[in-house]
């Protein structure tokens, strides 16, 4: 291991005994004085040190020592054998006089310096204060674009790139990059001065780096772990890759959720819409897997304006990590003059269209996320033309929807309407919470296939005709 890290160019030092405090201090001093390289300190230790029967055994790792072994270990230490959770007064005094006093002094000095700094650098001091509190600058969202209706539309990844750049110009601590896929995920910050975060880009050498675009390399797991570290330092950090590779990121995303830090994970190429890349690159179970992580906010917006609103939600999160799931293919930009505003995204689900009239009730509810929302709207228009009372519900975020009141959820998906259709280019798992039987879910039951998207939608039943047929069947089944 030491040779491996030396090969990486690290500074490596070793302490042969974990109880040798002098050598440990020396190792830390070496790390503190090394200005060019990261330092790895390798410390040799014994698991269950001092336990007469369990030191250096696997049992010490996987199970409690037991009362008798604890007593014998205390005897080895010269510690009172019968005392439990004993912390002598001298220990408290030592900590108060050492770490406590030093920490208090350092904190007071830091805040005094910050106050003095603010007198000559008011704007930068304000930014630092906002970062520490996870607050946003005034006018951070003033340049978020609005997208005009367009039946041809724009890919989710493209509209996200436009919104991301509009926000990043006004939030200087929004930084990030991709796992070597920025041209595909559209996450490069392109405005003047954005630059690259590299060792060569140091406006003041040895003090701070310039540049806000990170090149994480082809390593999604490490990228997402780095995002956690950046978020702990209070910058807003984003990383990006293909949705299929979210499996590599998952452990780090999960830890971010446990730590309650607002990391931003952007995954594009979100479905069978990847087309000819085939089943190895077409996510199927990945949405369900991400939705299963407690505390994680997953957003799969349906058009460019939902993408803009998704970013608006993400930027205001303080304790939850977010996953933004985006299409590679173009999605029609919905006419918000005719249909409901995309601002409804903040509630997780909202009524996009309904022809039931005031106080009326739909015969069928059509639900979808992401690129499939446009398809469902098209089916809705045909059903309405045939005299069917229908409702379209866009559900870009299950988690945000589940955070709403029971009254709101009932107003969107009334329990009295049993005829429903859910459409998503992903596995069916999880949709049962919003449907009344499995036949209502138009989703993936197998892996995908290598073919143009139009061929795949026909093959797997993602057509306007199938949505209409399913809706009519459910209406008839439920007695309308």
Tokens of 172: 């200087």
Q: Which of 216, 225, 213, 280 is nearest to 249 (CA)?
A: 225
User: Can you give the C-alpha Rg of the chain in angstroms?
Assistant: 28
Q: Are 37 and 6 in contact (CB under 8 A)?
A: no
Q: What angle do CA 42, 43, 44 make, to 5 degrees?
A: 125
Burial class (CB in 10 A: 0-12, 13-18, 19+), 479: exposed
Distance CA 101, CA 108 (A): 11
DSSP state of 299: E
CA dist list (Å): 204 to 6, 37, 53, 306, 344: 28, 17, 56, 40, 45
Q: Are 134 and 318 in contact (CB under 8 A)?
A: yes
Q: Are 299 and 401 in contact (CB under 8 A)?
A: no
Active site residues: 220
Distance CA 292, CA 312 (A): 23
Distance CA 21, CA 15 (A): 10
């Amino acid at each position: 291991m030491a040779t491996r890290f030396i090969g990486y160019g690290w500074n490596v030092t070793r302490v042969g005994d974990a109880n040798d405090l002098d050598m440990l201090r020396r190792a830390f001093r070496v790390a503190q004085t090394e200005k060019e390289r990261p330092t790895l300190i390798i410390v040799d230790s014994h698991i269950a040190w001092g336990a007469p029967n369990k030191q250096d055994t696997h049992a010490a790792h996987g199970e409690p020592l037991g009362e008798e072994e604890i007593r014998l270990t205390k005897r080895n230490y010269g510690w009172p054998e019968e005392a439990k959770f004993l912390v002598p007064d001298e220990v408290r005094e030592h900590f108060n006089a050492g770490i406590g006093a030093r920490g208090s002094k350092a904190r007071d000095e830091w805040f005094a310096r910050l106050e003095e700094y603010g007198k000559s650098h008011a704007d930068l001091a304000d930014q630092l204060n906002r970062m520490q509190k996870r607050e946003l600058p005034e006018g951070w969202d003033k340049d978020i674009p609005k997208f005009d209706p367009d039946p041809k539309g724009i890919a989710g990844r493209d509209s996200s790139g436009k919104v991301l750049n509009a926000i990043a110009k006004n939030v200087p601590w929004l930084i990030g990059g991709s796992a070597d896929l920025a041209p595909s995920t559209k996450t490069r910050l392109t405005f003047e001065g954005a630059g690259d975060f590299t060792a060569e880009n140091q406006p003041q050498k040895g003090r701070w780096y310039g540049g806000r675009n990170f090149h994480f390399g082809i390593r999604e797991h490490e990228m997402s772990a780095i995002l956690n570290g950046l978020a702990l330092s209070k910058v807003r950090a984003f990383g990006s890759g293909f949705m299929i590779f979210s499996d590599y990121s998952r452990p780090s995303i999960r830890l971010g959720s446990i730590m309650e830090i607002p990391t931003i994970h952007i995954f594009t190429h979100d479905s069978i819409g990847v087309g000819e890349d085939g089943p190895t690159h077409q996510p199927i179970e990945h949405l369900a897997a991400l939705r299963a992580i407690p505390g994680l906010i997953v957003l799969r917006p349906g058009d460019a304006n939902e993408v803009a609103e998704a970013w608006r939600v993400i930027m205001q999160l303080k304790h939850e990590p977010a996953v933004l799931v985006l299409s590679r293919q173009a999605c029609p930009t919905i006419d918000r003059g005719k249909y409901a505003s995309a601002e409804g995204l903040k509630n997780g689900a909202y009524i996009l269209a309904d022809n039931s009239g005031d106080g009326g009730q739909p015969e069928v509810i059509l639900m979808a996320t992401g690129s499939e929302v446009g398809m469902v709207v098209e089916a809705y228009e045909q059903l309405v033309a045939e005299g069917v009372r229908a409702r379209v519900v866009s559900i870009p975020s299950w988690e945000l929807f589940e955070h709403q009141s029971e009254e709101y959820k009932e107003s969107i998906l009334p329990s009295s309407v049993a005829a429903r259709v859910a459409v998503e280019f992903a596995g069916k798992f999880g949709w049962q919470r919003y449907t009344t039987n499995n036949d209502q879910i138009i989703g993936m039951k197998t892996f995908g296939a290598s073919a143009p998207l139009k061929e795949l939608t026909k093959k797997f039943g993602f057509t306007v005709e199938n949505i209409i047929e399913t809706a009519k069947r459910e209406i008839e089944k439920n007695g309308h």
